[in-house]
Amino acid sequence: RTYYPIWRQATKLFERLPPEGRDLYRQTYEAEAAARLREIMPSGDLSALRDLFRTYAGLSIWPAIGAELTAQLLDQGQYADAIETIQVLNAAQSHMPPERCMQLVAALGSLGHWQAAREHLDRLSATEAMQQPPWPERLAALRAWVAEAAASAGQAGNDATNLSPAFGAGLWWEALEPAGDNGACEDDLGMAEAITLSRRLPLQTAVLDGDTLVTRMRGTIWAFDALTLRPQWHVEEFARAVTPAERFDSLFVTSATIFGLGGQAEGLSADANALLCDALRHALTTGNGLVFTIEATAPGSSEDDDFGVARFGGMDYAPPPNELVARDLATGNVVWRRGSDPTDALYGVSFQDVPIVVRDRLCVPLLRAGELHLCLLSPSDGATVAEVEIVGPPTYFTRAGGRCQLVSDESTVFVATGNGVVAALSSGDLSWKWATTYPSTLAARRSAGWWPPPQASREVGIDRPLLTGELLVLAPVDAASIFALERTTGRQRWRIQRRTDVSLVGATNSGVLLAGNSLTHVDANDGATVLWRTVPLGISGRPAVCENRIFVPTRDGVVTVDGHTGKILCEPGLGEIREPNQCANTPPPSGGALSPGLFSRHLSAANLVVAADAVFAISPNCLVKFPDIAAARKSCAELLAMDPGDERARYA
């Protein structure tokens, strides 16, 4: 079920009035609305125009107000808000004028939704109104703009990318040495076995920001030069001491795990469990020249965990507090911290995900007194700009995180709470646009009695929401299905049952990618039509999508799949590397060229990241770069042409 703000509900209720009521409403407010529109138009006050549009729905002048608002939004580059305005108008009117449809095409094209823009153009050209002057000329000009813009963006419908990474040849790698005792760490082959046993994909990630690649592993944050793979800096995270209450709580954690309630995967080592289940220990993001992570804080009150009684479903579990840390991307030095100082307004809260950058602000979810809040922060100093409540008690969150996930477009922040609710809020002021509820497995945790413990449904891996076209595709940890919602309305487009071994891993221009033992491409329009499915691959990490190619990590190496047909384009086996340094004609960085044994070991549990001229594989113990040789040489040549003494280009 989807819920809307009052102004959208009022728009729907107006249509239910009898004709006499609608006429009386128009007679009363028509002149007032027209006068306010004439007053606002010269100044171009977008906020006042938006309030006018939301207040006077149903008047004869309301479509004109909407047209002016849409034009102003397009002029100011707020294309997602323009699309939302057009869809509100279309929902209240049976006929869409040609000029409004052309505005919709322009907004979709400006956001890069070329397929949707072409579909609207085709429908528009088939209408009778477009056959009368001057519409044919305008339609031709709009179609030419869409084609040109799509071609320049590499989305013209043809294969616009020629990235050809040298898998198995000329590899560069750097070892990720843990800060603590190496003996407690799983090697990559052991992690591959854990992935097979738990049917979850690993959580380690790498973020490419300009020329810097940042990753986070086992309490250490690393930064590398993406061109040369030279280490730039590494720092240890802030640690958190364990309180006596938390040591006592570990008894309940262990008991809960036995009964399937603890969020951990059974039969695995502590290191493997952390790499598969502990999202907050591996999540990181970058923006505004900073690296953002969620790290541990100083010891908190024993009331934070309440002795773990909630593990059995009788009470809400309060995760221990943590802190948000911002470090300089160039040096790794701490710029600011939130949640570490007792005088901080965010002291004692539990951040549930790393922040995302929306416009010129940071948006981060946090748990305060059992309520999930969304907070806007200033990137320069972390100061709080705005804070709103999203979900109130009863809620369920864990110390490992991963339940609450954020994703955003140009104007909207989408929050998958992991507690049966998906919400959409404006990225400017956090005013809510819609909220949709879905069947949640948390209902099984709400047991009236303390014993026996509830038999909760098994929750699967942690997958971030995806934005593809006009859809928001989600696979929440507390849902037994994968479903798609319309971005602007929150209405469900489709829902499919989710097997425990299926992960939501990506999207193409035409569909959604699901990974299990094989890679499946389903139609984004209905979620049920299988466009193609690969042969079993033994996927052991998160694939990376690069236009018409999909790079899939397996236990034997990286497989390249055609994004249109699902055919395997390249499957480099270990037999392609006959000698340890067969392709290492020049001394590589400190790690070296991978030998056959290292090639297998360091790709057996890796997640992939695509760059313009390379594919990076990040495993629990190693970072590997697969360069596109021709593209890399071209990049180096361009750098040397600008500066013959460029040390980085000469080294690469």
Q: Do 55 and 169 share a domain, yes or no?
A: no
Dihedral of the CA atoms 271, 274, 280, 281 (nearest 10)?
A: 10
Cα separation, 544 vs 562, whole angstroms? 12
In order, the DSSP letters of 569-600 are EE---GGG--STTTT--S--STT-PPPHHHHH
368 within domain boundaries: no
175 and 103 in a common domain: no
Residue 550 pLDDT more than 50?
A: yes
pLDDT, tens digit, 9 for 90 and up, residues 402-430: 899 999 988 899 999 999 999 999 988 89
The CATH number covering residue 641 comes to 2.40.10.480
Same domain, 182 and 138: no
User: If you search the block for the tokens 């059974």, which residue do you land on?
Assistant: 266
**Is position 227 within any domain?**
no
Alpha-carbon distance of 563 to 590, in angstroms, equals 35
Domain boundary among 113, 134, 152: 152
Residue 524's SS3 state is coil
- CA-to-CA distance for 214 and 207, rounded, in angstroms? 5
pLDDT for 177 equals 76
Nearest to 441 by CA among 514, 493, 498, 504: 498
The pLDDT assigned to 528 comes to: 87
DSSP character string of 108-130:
HHHTT-HHHHHHHHHHHHTSGGG
Average pLDDT over the chain reads 81
Same domain, 45 and 176: no
DSSP secondary structure code for residue 539 in this structure? B
Sheet order of strands, 172-175 included: 172-175, 622-627, 614-618, 607-610
Query: pLDDT digit string (tens) for 586-630?
Result: 333 344 444 444 545 556 888 999 988 889 999 888 888 888 888
Indicate whether 505 and 644 sit together in one domain. Answer: yes
448 lies in some domain: no
Mean pLDDT of 357-374: 92
Q: What are the Cα distances from residue 181, in Å, to 184, 218, 331?
A: 6, 10, 26
Domain boundary among 152, 169, 187: 152
User: Do residue 626 and residue 649 come from a single domain?
Assistant: yes
Determine contact, residues 184/261, Cβ cutoff 8 Å.
no
- Distance between CA atoms of residues 4 and 83, nearest Å: 17
User: 503: buried, middle or exposed (CB in 10 Å: 19+, 13-18, 0-12)?
Assistant: buried
| Whether residues 7 and 112 fall in one domain | yes
Q: Does one domain contain both 80 and 190?
A: no
Q: Is residue 25 in a domain?
A: yes
Please check whether residues 31 and 148 belong to one and the same domain: yes
What's the alpha-carbon Rg for the chain, to the nearest Å? Answer: 27
Number of domains in the chain: 2
The pLDDT score that the predictor gives to residue 450 is 56
Two tokens at 290? 């900073």
Is pLDDT larger for residue 10 or for residue 451?
Answer: 10
Between 356 and 176, the more confident residue is 356
Q: What is the CATH number of the domain that holds 94?
A: 1.25.40.10
Q: By three-state DSSP, how is residue 139 classified?
A: helix
Rounded CA separation 52/48 (Å) = 6
Percentage of residues in the chain with pLDDT exceeding 70? 82
Among 94, 125, 152, give the residue marking a domain's end.
Answer: 152
- Asked if residue 514 is part of any domain, the answer here is yes
Higher pLDDT among residues 247 and 644, named by residue:
644
390 within a domain of the structure (yes/no): no
Residue 641, pLDDT > 50, answer yes
Asked if the model's pLDDT at residue 310 lies above 80, the reply is no
* Shared domain check, 185 and 41: no
Note whether 167 and 135 are same-domain residues. no
pLDDT digit string, tens, across residues 53-90: 989 988 899 999 999 999 999 998 888 889 888 988 88
**Checking DSSP bridges between strand 421-426 and strand 622-627, what pairing results, if any?**
unpaired
Residues 187 and 82 in one domain: no
Residue 449 confidence (pLDDT): 52
From residue 605, how far is each of 5, 198, 542, 567 by CA, in Å?
Answer: 45, 13, 9, 23
* Closest to 517 (Cα-Cα) out of 499, 502, 507: 502
Cα separation of 387 and 405, whole Å? Answer: 17
233: Cβ–Cβ under 8 A, 6 or more apart, which residues?
222, 223, 331, 332
Q: Is residue 644 part of a domain?
A: yes
pLDDT of 586 reads: 37
Expressed as residue numbers, the domain containing 10 is 2-152
Q: pTM for the whole thing? A: 0.84
* pLDDT at residue 225 in the model: 92
Residue 111 in any domain: the answer is yes
Give, as one character, the DSSP assignment of residue 218. Answer: T
